Amino acid sequence: MSERGWIVLAVANIPVYIGVGWLFFRTWDDFWEAVRFWLTPDILSAFRGEYWEDSWAEIKLGLWVVCCVCVVLAEAQLIQQVFG
């Protein structure tokens, strides 16, 4: 698949990313909190008493990213199989 095809596929899946994100986070506040925890060093979260919340938020964010990448890769594979 060409670079342009990957870009089109990634952009066309934005509604899918939002839908999968809703399954993981339920609200935009939860999503942005996960991003905040991802950017905050773990030691700082531990000192604040938020270590386990930080870990759980980072796990959810990581799983969301993996799911989104897998969707794009699966669709690219399907396109390759159908259109050769």
* Residue given tokens 């870009």 in the structure block: 7
1: Cβ contacts below 8 Å, ≥ 6 apart? 9, 76, 79, 80
Cα gap 19→22, rounded to integer Å: 5
Alpha-helix runs per DSSP H in the chain: 3-12, 14-25, 28-39, 42-48, 51-83
pTM of the model: 0.87
6: Cβ contacts below 8 Å, ≥ 6 apart? 72, 76
pLDDT tens-digit profile of 1-47? 789 989 999 999 999 999 999 999 999 999 999 999 999 999 999 99
